[in-house]
Structure 1
Amino acid sequence: MKLFFLGSAILLAASFGLPAQAQSESLEPVVDVADAINQTAKKSQLTIDSIADNMQERMQQYKQINKQIDGLRVYTRQLEKQIQNQNTEKSELSSSIDEVSVVERQITPLMLRMIDGLDAFVELDVPFLPEEREERVATLQDLMDRADVDVSEKFRRVMEAYQIEAEYGRTIEAYTGEMDVEGQVQDVDFLRIGRVALVYKTRDGASLGVWNQNAGAWQPLSDSYRNSVTEALRIARKQLAPDLLMLPLFTDSIVSATRAAGE
């Protein structure tokens, strides 16, 4: 712009004191030079504007990159904390694994003793569901020899067997089976009330028997209990609501009454 004004001033100064034609001829080069200077100045200004815009854009990019760097620093610090916590957990897990190995060596003999105890208990207990209970114990014994089953699963199965046996003591159940009655194998209905009473009734209702735990043997049951046994069987099958029943209970060889709770 300064060049433009300088050219204009020279042009005006030269225009005074010369004839019109001479002035025109003498001013043409000056005008051309001024015009060239103006074009050059215009191009320079465009270049400057482009550089300024570019610098502004670069400045915005610089600010954005700085923000990203700040975010990455915060993220990196957070990751460092997580890595530190993971290393701590790793150390704790390593210690726990070592302790688990010790526990496994101790718990395996315990489970073997528990299975042996369960086997002895089933053998000495009231003889209800004998095949099912003996098979459960045999399955546990086979399970202990398997290498493809975790110790935790073995322990779970042992505890499950104990829980099942515990449930037997507070439930009433009716199931069918075979019984040697007077030298003849017959289909009978068994009635179990907890572990305090185990009674059978033949399908025709002609024979009743009760397990005498004190004697460790079956003994005939009086016909006077037939209706009570039949009603108790229906209660156990949830065909009747629970009710008070008279059933045999052996305690020191004395026959007493017990309640069919129907739980």
Structure 2
Amino acid sequence: MNPCFTRTLLVASFLATVGVASPQLNAQEQALDPVVDAANEINQAARSSQLTVDKIADTTQERLQQYKQISRQIEGLEVYVQQLQKQIASQQTEKSDLNASIDEVSVVERQITPLMLRMIDSLATFVELDVPFLPEERNNRIAGLEDLMDRADVDVSEKFRRVMEAYQIESEYGRTIEAYNGAMEVNGQSQDVEFLRVGRTALIYKTRNGDTMGVWNQQARAWQELDSSYAANVQEALRIARKQLAPDLLMLPIFHSDVQAGE
């Protein structure tokens, strides 16, 4: 058989077969179209559902974090409230103590005011009987205390502090040396003099020109003229009191009982 004829028959047979099968394939494809469309819709619905599920999961996680944060805040507030309750209880106790103290202060105030008045009177008597140094300053201090006691705008505690301060100042006088200027009557005339105070042991005056010196005799309650032989010692003591010289041993007259000692 001619090969060319054979190939022609095969081609013709194939074309005939294809021509017959094409209508069948088209019918099958048309039958499958609804299935494919349904599958596509299912897939689309599945994707939409998955997105919804993911969104819900994210929202749930966010709400969970918010819940945990709020729970921690609540726990912190509970601890804070407990601490405040303890502080309130402590304040209530302190309030009760303060009320009791106020009642006691009222009692103490009624008792301490007469005590301060007696202290001021005793201080005034002491100054009057003491060596007469700085008489104006000391008497003014006592007068100020007496006026202070009559004032209603000053607390009792401040009044007591001022009284104790005056006592402290008087106590310090006995441990210090001091030089100050003043005026006194010498030989019937008022003159400017320099005073030297050595504690409460010695009170000496010297006129400006140094011609006259005197020492206070506490036993006699009077000034006694001082011999000129003490002039150099008195001048040195004045310089020490004014911090112009370093402290040194001083030779000054001291009265003891009714006997005058030379040093």
User: Could you tell me the TM-score, scaled by structure 1's length?
Assistant: 0.89
Give the distance between the partners of 1:256 and 1:241, measured in 2 at CA: 25
The question of whether the paired residues in 2 share the 8 Å contact of 1:199 and 1:210 is answered with: yes
Percent identity of equivalent pairs: 70
Aligned to 1:208: 213
Alignment of 1:41-52 (within 5 A): 41-52=46-57
SS in 2 for 1:179: strand
Aligned to 1:10: none
Q: Which of residues 69, 78, 96 is equivalent to 2:101?
A: 96
The question of whether the paired residues in 2 share the 8 Å contact of 1:234 and 1:240 is answered with: yes
Give the deviation of 1:76 after TM superposition.
1.4
Q: Which of residues 41, 45, 52 is equivalent to 1:40?
A: 45
Give the distance between the partners of 2:105 and 2:262, measured in 1 at CA: 51
Alignment of 1:124-163 (within 5 A): 124-163=129-168
The question of whether the paired residues in 2 share the 8 Å contact of 1:136 and 1:161 is answered with: yes
Deviations 1:34-62 (A, max 9, x none): 21121111111100110011111111111
Aligned to 2:28: 23
Q: Are positions 1:178 and 2:180 aligned together?
A: no
SS in 2 for 1:246: coil
Letter in 1 for 2:166: A
Q: Which of residues 41, 59, 64 is equivalent to 2:64?
A: 59
Aligned to 1:80: 85
SS in 2 for 1:215: coil
Give the distance between the partners of 2:73 and 2:207, measured in 1 at CA: 87
Q: 1:29 to 1:257 in 2, by over 3 A?
A: farther
Aligned to 2:255: 250
SS in 2 for 1:242: coil
Give the deviation of 1:122 after TM superposition.
0.8
Q: Are positions 1:112 and 2:117 aligned together?
A: yes
Give the distance between the partners of 1:257 and 1:152, measured in 2 at CA: 47
Deviations 1:185-232 (A, max 9, x none): 111000001111110000000001111111111111111111111111
User: Could you tell me the TM-score, scaled by structure 2's length?
Assistant: 0.89
Moved over 6 A (4+): none
Give the distance between the partners of 1:257 and 1:96, measured in 2 at CA: 58
SS in 1 for 2:219: coil
Q: Any stretches of 5+ residues in structure 2 without a counterpart? A: 1-22
Deviations 1:53-75 (A, max 9, x none): 11111111112211221221122
Q: Any stretches of 5+ residues in structure 1 without a counterpart? A: 1-17, 259-263
Aligned to 1:9: none
Letter in 1 for 2:146: Q
Give the distance between the partners of 1:257 and 1:46, measured in 2 at CA: 119
SS in 1 for 2:180: strand
The question of whether the paired residues in 2 share the 8 Å contact of 1:212 and 1:218 is answered with: yes
* RMSD between superposed Cα atoms in Å: 1.3
Q: Which of residues 168, 171, 179 is equivalent to 1:166?
A: 171
Deviations 1:112-160 (A, max 9, x none): 1111111111111110000000000011111111111111111111100
Q: Are positions 1:219 and 2:224 aligned together?
A: yes
The question of whether the paired residues in 2 share the 8 Å contact of 1:247 and 1:256 is answered with: no
